[in-house]
């Protein structure tokens, strides 16, 4: 069953952090640990934690403009079929264009940002941003592949 019904209605684990980049490493290590608990191989767990790093970094830098006292809530839903992670935050709504990332064009424009969402979409099976009544959510799902 590979749809949202595969996951429990309430998160198995959640954490609320302040919008500070110094906390990213802790979030990465926590996510890797939870993904491993969810039976993902270490290599997959490391990639999932990288995707979460990118998502939370985007929130801190773009939605909260590096304000250090805002809150970010991260929820983890574990299921035999996979892992669902939801990141809740307020601030500026995400600006996720459907434009395909073109590295050559970004180099010519001397851009330093814009790779994070590509990484997230490459690593995870689903990345969905929603915004309701001022609360934004980035939901990411990684399904377990059958051995």
Partner 1 sequence: MKSFQIRSKMVNGVAVLYLKGHLDAHQVGRFEKELVRMIRESNFNILINGQDLNYITSAGMGIIMGYIDEVREKGGDIKLCSLSERVHETFDLVGFTEIYDFVADEQAAIEKFSRIPPQA
Cα separation, 142 vs 74, whole angstroms: 15
Q: Is 22 exposed, middle or buried (0-12, 13-18, 19+ CB in 10 A)?
A: exposed
Tokens of 31: 């996510």
Least separation, in Å, of the C-beta of 4 and partner 1?
26
Rank residues 29 and 135 by Cβ distance to partner 1 and give the closer one. Answer: 29
CB distance 59 to 72 below 8 Å:
yes
Rank residues 3 and 43 by Cβ distance to partner 1 and give the closer one. Answer: 43
Least separation, in Å, of the C-beta of 51 and partner 1?
10
Site residues (CB under 8 A) for partner 1? 21-22, 24-25, 28, 43, 46-47, 50, 53-54, 57, 60-61, 101, 103-104, 106-108, 110-116, 118-119, 122-123
């Amino acid at each position: 069953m590979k749809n949202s019904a595969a996951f429990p209605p309430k998160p198995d684990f959640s954490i609320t952090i302040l919008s500070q980049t110094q906390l990213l490493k802790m979030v990465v290590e926590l996510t890797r640990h939870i993904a491993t608990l969810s039976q993902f191989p270490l290599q997959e767990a490391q990639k999932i934690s990288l995707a979460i790093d990118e998502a939370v970094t985007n929130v801190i830098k773009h939605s909260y403009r590096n304000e250090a006292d805002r809150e970010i809530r991260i929820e983890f839903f574990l299921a035999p079929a996979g892992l669902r992670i939801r990141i809740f935050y307020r601030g500026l709504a995400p600006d996720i264009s459907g434009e395909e990332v073109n590295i050559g064009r970004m180099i010519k424009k001397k851009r330093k940002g814009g790779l994070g969402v590509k990484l997230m979409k490459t690593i995870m099976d689903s990345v969905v941003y929603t915004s309701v009544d001022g609360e934004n959510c980035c939901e990411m799902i990684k399904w377990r592949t059958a051995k």
